[in-house]
Structure 1
């Protein structure tokens, strides 16, 4: 049981992370055909005992389509030829997502326009209307 620190208050047990390896596509020549360098990381968000409920909810929203119906977050990395680098990169992405989910967004306080701003708006509309009204046809006094 090895705890991986994410924030000051959150640490995840490494047993919660399920990693699998596969052949990755892309550059690498014959090396690509022989090595399992792509990493798929699975993290069960819903059943994680270490994450608070509020963080689980925000993490599920942030994950979007990467979250399965069962609540498992799936991340994949195959950018590097090295399995170790791909493993490190996919773990950092997971930790960054969890860190982002720990921030609580500020609630917006609804405000109303002040009486003076309402008055100014109406007066400016009236002035503009008077200018436009003065643009009509000029009628002679014949």
Structure 2
């Protein structure tokens, strides 16, 4: 899926942020907040919407809206670019298909090594026990 096609549906809001900037922080709204409505986006197909709703369920609001913020940079533009990159990475990762795992069996040598380690450990613990005198 081309994540760039979703950029028109993004809305931005700006607020005052903490962090670097000195007195600049107190008077300039540099914190960038990105909002993207997964549930209401016309640019997504039903399948894409279902995938995003499932994969990003923990990051969505109750209305099905994804909200991301960035505030470490000193300028509004830099924070906007960073939060947009964060959004695009998140969407791309949600559509990534994991590589299927091939089932493998342990080698004979690794099985033998495991058994010898278990035997050594058991002997060590057995030597710690008190010997009862009958």
TM-score by length of 2: 0.66
TM-score by length of 1: 0.63
8 Å contact 1:59–1:97 — kept in the other structure? no
The structure, 1 or 2, with the larger RCO (C-alpha pairs under 8 Å, 6+ apart) is 2
8 Å contact 2:31–2:71 — kept in the other structure? yes
**Count of equivalent residues:** 111
**How far apart are the structure 2 equivalents of 1:25 and 1:10?**
30
Bigger helix share: 2
Q: Structure 2: state its 5+ residue gaps.
A: 106-110, 116-134
8 Å contact 1:39–1:86 — kept in the other structure? yes
8 Å contact 2:20–2:72 — kept in the other structure? no
Highest Rg: 1 or 2? Answer: 1
**How far apart are the structure 2 equivalents of 1:90 and 1:33?**
21
Q: Structure 1: state its 5+ residue gaps.
A: 1-5, 114-120, 126-142
**How far apart are the structure 1 equivalents of 2:37 and 2:17?**
24
